[in-house]
Amino acid sequence: MKISRGVLLFAAVVVIGGLSPVAAKGAEPGFGAFLDEAVPAQLAELKVPGAAVVVVRGGRQVFAKGYGYADAARRTPVDPDRTGFQGGSIAKAFTATAVLRLVERGRVDLDADANRYLKDVRIPDTYPGRPVTVRHLLTHAAGFDPRVIGEAAAGPGGLTSLREHLRASAPARIRPPGAVSYDNHAFAYAGLLVEDVSGRPFDRFVRDEITGPLGMARTSQTQPRPAALERSLATGHRPDGAGQTPVRGRYVRSAPTGGVVTTATDMGRFLNAHLGHGPRVLTDATRRTMQARHAGAPGLPGVGLMWERRERAGRLAVGKDGDTLGFHAGMALLPATDTGVFVVYNGDGTTGTGATAARTLLDRFTDRFGGPARQSAAAVPARSLDRYTGTYRTLRTTRNDLTRVQALTGAVTVSAENGGLVTRGHLSPDPDRTEQHWTPVGDGLFQERGGPDRLSLTSGRLATSADPTSTYERLPWYATPPPAQLTLAAAVLILLPTTVLLPLMSLRRRARGSRLATALAWTTSLLVAGFLAATAALMSDPNRTNEILYLGDDPLLTTLTVLPLTIAAASLALLATTVTAWLRGWWTRPTRLHHTATTVATCAFTAVAASYGLLGA
């Protein structure tokens, strides 16, 4: 989740302390000055302990440096050669490369049903005649439910094999394949496909076919990790007051999705290979195919086979980000200048800002070293802009767990203003940019005013060049957040005073049933108050929220699952007592009206909870 933040630079500088970097190796003029200014400033501003960067150009490593600390408590400096980092979704680059190795050998067809290659763990045939192909898996277009709860583990004891993980927790298909929406589970299936076709465990195939030939001796997707790599692994952190706290999530349950550990200079070797230099793990034709456009919104650079094609003022960067608890990474290939860059951080940053650090740095790097900018497309006369207006929600919204509740606040609105469009919401990687203005440059295509991004709107769907793996769908008015938000607010305004008012009313009634009805109304109001308190506790620290969700082992999650179900059951009982109260004439008329309002508010709360995944799947 992306959350706006305010950052206290001075306090962060005090916490980070001496940011003396490990010496750069082979620095080329321009790179060193830029990175030596940009990276330490990020660490101080965002309150992140350390980082490592590597730059390659023309087949050579031209810059590699570590900044800050691999472990904040021990003050261990980051070494770009030896310090290992968890790469998160950088792992998908190895998974896709592994699949393409099999495609080159004629053992896998990109456009075949992926189930042709999977042995005993199958993708459900939810949409007959519309199978998930291998290409769908590699382009985030498979249509799986994007759930996240429980996808990480605090230690190796919580891990199972990839096959067992998918067998036990296979995601549902919630839409036909084709629409691009970031999909972790697709790459888990892709990794299992590699195992089933090659006859080797996924991590061994990657070692034998990719990291070994490239000389990436300190890179692995083996879980549990080799002891030598574990000893040199940086600690992931989240800010805690004036200091840093180690995160608990050290493993991802699906190695092909996010289980890689690597060093900066190892990733330089990987980038060189994908620029066509050094030992070859793919032919030039396959490498170009992998980076070419395969899916995405009309008029935008789109996505390749795993690679995300991002364009900034005409400068193309082919990249991938990686985020896991306490670690955030990003890499980019700049084809125009034969350059590659990788950066990784070992901290979540203030209110989750570490997740934006890599993209911010890579965008600035692209602007400076990505070659000459192309002239922006000319504006065209605006016509029928009202057809684009409305509220849009990301397709990356689960249908099956409580994280769906983020849809209550995560929508993007589009309005027609001053001959163009205005979007309000989080479309930009910069969490502080919540409003963007767009000029029409084609049918359904818009250029950001004063910015590098493009916006595509077609067939009721929205996408931008800033994030080619995100697609938004237009919502009917009744499914937009405001009706649900107003309903919840009204319900809470009725229920919370009940927790105070009812104890002041005597429970000594002529009928035993009326006493039970009063107690039920009071208890239900307390349950709603407890749910709100538990929600506030969960959301109080975005970094802690992510840890709780991804590990899925906190009692708070159980509370947030049980309470709405209990409230839903109570709403049925309240309906019965309300009808009885009016039939039997319990209490005074104002008291009956108050009880009725309590019942209506509880039912409204339950309806919204059901709509936003709070009653479970």
Structure tokens at 415: 């309005």
Q: Which pLDDT value is given to residue 448?
A: 94
Query: Helix, strand, or coil here: 395?
Result: coil
Give yes or no for a contact between 388 and 457, defined as CB atoms under 8 angstroms apart.
yes
CA–CA distances in Å: residue 355 to residues 183, 208, 209, 351, 566: 18, 31, 30, 10, 36
Cα–Cα distance measured from residue 335 to residue 323, given in angstroms and rounded to the nearest whole number: 24
- pLDDT tens sequence across 176-206: 999 999 999 999 999 999 999 999 999 999 9
Quick one: tokens of 321?
């980000």
Contact 318, 291 (CB under 8 A): yes
Residue 334 phi, psi dihedral angles, 5° rounding: -110, 90
CA distance 555 to 552: 9
Look up residue 435 and give its two tokens. Answer: 């409003």
Are 554 and 609 contacting, i.e. CB atoms less than 8 angstroms apart? no
Closest CA to 222 of 235, 199, 236, 206: 206
Closest by Cα among 128, 143, 126 to 178: 143
Q: Which amino acid is at 462?
A: L
Digit-coded pLDDT (tens) for 285-299: 999 999 999 999 999
- Distance (Å, whole) CA 106 – CA 123: 22
Using left for φ > 0, alpha for ψ between -120 and 50, and beta otherwise, residue 44 falls in alpha
Residue pair 16/43 in contact (Cβ under 8 Å)? The answer is yes
The per-residue pLDDT for 207 is: 98
Phi and psi (nearest 5°) for 342?
-135, 135
pLDDT at 158: 82
Q: In order of start, what are the domains of the chain with their CATH numbers?
A: 85-369 (3.40.710.10), 385-475 (no CATH), 481-611 (no CATH)
- Walk along the chain (617 residues) in steps of 10 and give the mean pLDDT of each run: 34 33 58 97 97 97 98 97 98 98 98 97 97 98 94 91 94 96 98 98 98 98 94 96 92 96 98 97 98 97 97 92 97 97 97 93 95 78 89 92 85 95 91 92 94 94 96 95 94 87 55 82 93 91 91 92 94 95 90 92 94 77
The whole model's pTM is what? Answer: 0.91
The DSSP line for 200-216 is S-HHHHHIIIIITTTT-
Whether 162 contacts 169, CB under 8 Å: no
